[in-house]
Amino acid sequence: MKPEKRDYDAVIVGSGPNGLAAAILLQQNGLSVLLLEGKKEIGGGLRSAELTLPGYMHDICSAIHPLAAASPFFETLPLDQHGLEYIYPEIAAAHPFDDGTAVILTKSIEQTANLLGEDEQAYLKLIKPLVKNWPLIAPDALGPLHFPKHPLAMAKFGLDGLTSATFLEKRFKTQAAKGLFAGMAAHSIQPLSNIATSAIGLVLMAQGHLKGWPVPKGGSKQIASALASYFISIGGKIETDRYIESLSQLPSTHAVLFDITPKQLLKIAGHRFSPLYKWQLERYRYGMGVFKIDWALDAPIPFKADQVKKAGTVHIGNTFEEIAESEQRIWKGEHPEKPFVLLAQQSQFDASRAPKGKHTAWAYCHVPNGSEKDMTAIIEQQVERFAPGFRDTILAKHTFNTTQMEQYNPNYIGGDINGGVIDIRQLFTRPALRWSPYKTSAKGLYICSSSTPPGGGVHGMCGYHAAKKALSDIWGIKVR
């Protein structure tokens, strides 16, 4: 028996990469889908704007996109036909040290390993199997907990990935290898001593070898624009400037998928949830926040190590020990004087980002959730530490503290860009312990944000799996 007629078969609230992915999958399966965005433009974390000076295009939230380029769902879409072009820096990521040297991640496993000296074989032993197996296990790794299609390959990844970064780094002897791994694992935005922090680092290194860490030509907004263009081309509808605060604001529909976090979901639909589900959402934990800077520059950043100048992403934090200590202190609510800094220099590879001869740079450090401390001087000192003369190149700057990040994107609660801490307690049970993490306790209501598996990152897989669940529940449509 078919569901009765409504204004739309499904409504998506929020147009981040997961909301767009959910909308596309539902529309692809013959449904009528409306995508609602509270801001005047779509994208969520996929937005770009002239934040500093005219002609300088900055990525407001996400900047470098290894998971977008390798997303099992996005890979199936003809996004290149809708204006998306990725630029792949020759060096995906670089990690400078105080002594003026640096270690780099390139597409070649052998080249990267060779630069690690006596850790060459240890690196190959760790990374080669994952690079080989990732195409097989990616759909399972980037999804909810279930029995995998390739259990042996998944088990191999799990044995390494479910360890803490402080445990796995013991496989290496050199400062270079340990530092490289620390920068990768620190993307987990939690203490490196936490269980499963190795997984993030391993996946990011594998993506560097499989495809690279690309920059979208013209800005991160181009990913959202391409997804939206494709969605509209297959019959989807988008309405912007429609901020939803209650279910009564929605048109009649069989399913609503929310690309928002538990805090907002409770405000909108908490009265519809069972006491147990509501209780679980109320106890959902958000993680560390970020303080972000965008710079308009008169010249490229003058890093001491030439290789760093050629990298799309730079991990600034020196040794494994220094990075681990700073992340631990932030977790405890402190502000270290030498925080780990993630920096992107997109204009080195994409000339459209700045006027001729000029440049942009993008960076953030982790801070305690909700912190309003101005970290500008501290971040710039960290960059200057590895690039003497950096401050002299600054023409203008724009900053976001955690409160401003949340005001800009309500999903960034307290500046948490991951939609909630992704530690072992919330890795598979985000946002609640349920048979399906995407299905709420209220009929027809689903959550499809990064607060569901597999978590943060521009990959769309949270939205894909949520839409897949809705298709099965309501319309009996099975998507493989």
pLDDT for position 147: 85
Please check whether residues 388 and 464 belong to one and the same domain: no
Stretches in the chain below the pLDDT threshold 70: 1-3
1 falls within a domain = no
Please check whether residues 297 and 171 belong to one and the same domain: yes
Are residues 386 and 96 in contact, defined by beta-carbon separation less than 8 angstroms? Answer: yes
Residues 6+ apart with CB under 8 A from 158: none
Residues 6+ apart with CB under 8 A from 301: 309, 343, 345, 359, 361, 383, 387, 390, 393
Cα dist from 330 to 57, 344, 366, whole Å: 30, 22, 7
The structure tokens 């509209």 sit at 232
**Measured between alpha carbons, how far is 224 from 41 in angstroms, rounded to an integer?**
10
Please check whether residues 226 and 298 belong to one and the same domain: no
Sheet with 91-96, strands from edge to edge, namely: 102-106, 91-96, 311-316, 341-344, 359-367, 289-297, 394-400
Give the pTM: 0.96
Are residues 9 and 257 in contact, defined by beta-carbon separation less than 8 angstroms? Answer: no
223 falls within a domain = yes
Give the gyration radius of the chain's Cα atoms: 21
Domain count, the chain: 2
pLDDT for position 3: 59
456 falls within a domain = yes
53 falls within a domain = no
CA angle 281, 203, 284 (to 5 degrees): 10
Please check whether residues 395 and 298 belong to one and the same domain: yes
pLDDT for position 148: 86
**The two structure tokens encoding residue 51:** 């934040």
Quickly list DSSP for 115-144: TTGGGHHHHHHHHHHHHHHHHHHHHHHTS-
**Measured between alpha carbons, how far is 444 from 441 in angstroms, rounded to an integer?**
9
Alpha-helical regions (H) of 332-442:
376-386, 402-408
305 falls within a domain = yes
3 falls within a domain = no
Domain stops at, among 408, 429, 452: 408
Please check whether residues 200 and 297 belong to one and the same domain: yes
Please check whether residues 398 and 427 belong to one and the same domain: no
Please check whether residues 402 and 387 belong to one and the same domain: yes
480 falls within a domain = no
Please check whether residues 139 and 246 belong to one and the same domain: no
Kindly report the CATH number assigned to the domain that includes residue 421.
3.50.50.60
* CB-side neighbour CA atoms (13 Å) of 121: 1
Please check whether residues 427 and 336 belong to one and the same domain: no
Kindly report the CATH number assigned to the domain that includes residue 152.
3.90.660.50
CA angle 144, 147, 151 (to 5 degrees): 120
Please check whether residues 157 and 297 belong to one and the same domain: yes
- Cβ–Cβ contacts within 10 Å for residue 102, how many? 25
3-class secondary structure, 361: strand
Domain stops at, among 376, 408, 440: 408
Domain stops at, among 364, 387, 408: 408
Alpha-helical regions (H) of 401-451:
402-408
**The two structure tokens encoding residue 425:** 């307690």
pLDDT for position 444: 97
Please check whether residues 139 and 99 belong to one and the same domain: yes
> By C-alpha distance, which of 35, 32, 31 is closest to 448?
35
| Tens of pLDDT, residues 464-473 | 999 999 999 9
Alpha-helical regions (H) of 303-356:
306-309, 320-331
> By C-alpha distance, which of 460, 11, 475, 28 is closest to 233?
28
pLDDT for position 428: 83
> By C-alpha distance, which of 463, 172, 395, 430 is closest to 284?
430
418 falls within a domain = yes
**Measured between alpha carbons, how far is 206 from 215 in angstroms, rounded to an integer?**
17
**The two structure tokens encoding residue 279:** 């209780």
3-class secondary structure, 97: coil
- The domain of 41 spans 8-48+58-84+216-285+414-475
Please check whether residues 25 and 110 belong to one and the same domain: no
pLDDT for position 435: 92
